[in-house]
Amino acid sequence: MRQPVVLVLASGRGERFRASGGTTHKLQALLAGKPVLQHTLEAVRASGLPWHLEDAGHPGMGDSIAAAVRATAAAPGWLVLPADLPLIQSATLQAVAAALEGREVVVPVHEGARGHPVGFAAVCAPQLLELQGDRGAALVLRSHDAIELIVDDVGAVTDVDTLDALAVAEQLHARRIAGSAADRQPSAG
């Protein structure tokens, strides 16, 4: 079975982050000592799925998606992942990819909130290729039979658009690390 390609969208200007007081591009902002983009790419690599980084500086999200789909036109589908989701788990990427098999669109949902990556089957390609501007793929999503996939991953809904959002991501990351360390502790017995 051929797998969908994860489209990591890193073309945005990060204006809201700078407007909130950020002194660097949000993807270069440090989270637990590493750039936000590095966290996202580590999860993508760990998923084992094929991926494409779209960082050519397009004017809007729609333009970025269209360029990434064009660059990976032979793919059987795509998982659209904004690069500013540093807490995304590789298991979530794998789950969305698996759920996309035989479906048109898959949207991960965490605690009632829709998140990313949104999975699109090849049937969506003509519409994805026409996207432009800041609107993203919401219209494509609405025009297809989409399913919601419940995920236990706050990273699917935690983007870093402002300094406050970066602080929240830092807290969530620290809790995740602390939880992982506690899971590895030997039990007394």
181: confidence class by pLDDT, cuts 50, 70, 90: low
The boundaries of the domain holding residue 12 are: 5-182
Does residue 125 belong to any structural domain of this protein? yes
Does residue 178 belong to any structural domain of this protein? yes
Using the predicted structure, report yes or no on whether residue 29 has a pLDDT greater than 60.
yes
Record the pTM.
0.91
- Name the domain count of the chain: 1
Q: 146-172 in b/e burial notation, b at 16+ Cβ within 10 A?
A: beebebebbbbbbbbbbbebbeebbeb
pLDDT 10s digits, 47-95: 999 999 999 888 889 999 999 999 999 999 999 999 999 999 999 999 9
6: confidence class by pLDDT, cuts 50, 70, 90: very high
Does residue 12 belong to any structural domain of this protein? yes
CATH code: domain of residue 39: 3.90.550.10
Cβ contacts of 173 within 8 Å, gap of 6 or more: 31, 32, 86, 87
- Cα distance between residue 93 and residue 79, in whole Å: 8
- From 143, 87, 74, select the one nearest 117 (Cα to Cα): 87
Does residue 139 belong to any structural domain of this protein? yes
Does residue 188 belong to any structural domain of this protein? no
Using the predicted structure, report yes or no on whether residue 10 has a pLDDT greater than 60.
yes
Does residue 189 belong to any structural domain of this protein? no
State the pLDDT at residue 176: 85
Cβ contacts of 1 within 8 Å, gap of 6 or more: 101
Q: Got the DSSP string for 39-56?
A: HHHHHHHHHT--EEEE-S
